[in-house]
Amino acid sequence: MDLKQEVPDLRSADRTCPQPSSSAPSDHVSSSAVIGRLNVRSFLRKYDDVIELCRDRRIDLLCLTETWHDADSVVLGRQRRTGYNVVDRPRPRSADDDLSVNHGGVLVMSAADVSLSPIAVTQPTAFEVVCAQAAIGSSSVIVVVLYLPGSEAVQ
């Protein structure tokens, strides 16, 4: 699956922004930000595609659902080492082993120049949620990622 074909063009022609990691800083400061959402269906398997998508589209803040990750997933450490910030909520496994299925999980990731802080929320049982405050330049927004698995009734 090519993730780049699933996401519409979110860029305005005149907007530039700093990139994470070792990219040179931008000399153009913008008051806008590019925010995206993607049902990734396994972040671990598509990590490189997601990072390429963020760099190509200059996405400042990306919300992911169906990440299929655990709290100690190597992919999150790798993501942080490459200059991204992460606030996540993995879906708890149904059994205490490495073989059980974990098809849920939500997270917010941001470029290095975006400050990202978790906001504690009561965790519902019928859907998954993660909440974060993102500071982009002099602006601050609250981002909420909700994922309702089709197997659960809304409460």
User: For residue 125, what are its two tokens?
Assistant: 């049982």
Domain with 125 in it: what CATH number? Answer: 3.60.10.10
Q: How does pLDDT run across 121-154, given as a tens digit for each residue?
A: 998 888 899 999 999 888 999 999 999 876 655 5
Q: How does pLDDT run across 66-86, given as a tens digit for each residue?
A: 998 888 888 888 989 989 999
User: Alpha-carbon distance 23 to 116, whole Å?
Assistant: 20
Q: How confident is the model at residue 9 (pLDDT cuts 50, 70, 90)?
A: very low
Q: What type of residue is 138?
A: S
Q: Is residue 49 part of a domain?
A: yes
Question: What is the distance in angstroms between the CA of the first residue and the CA of the last residue of the chain?
Answer: 33
Distance of CA 68 to the CA centre of its chain: 13
Structurally, how many domains does the chain consist of? 1
Please indicate, yes or no, whether the overall pTM of this predicted structure exceeds 0.85. Answer: no
Q: Is residue 16 part of a domain?
A: no
Can you give the residue range of the structural domain that contains 73? Answer: 32-147
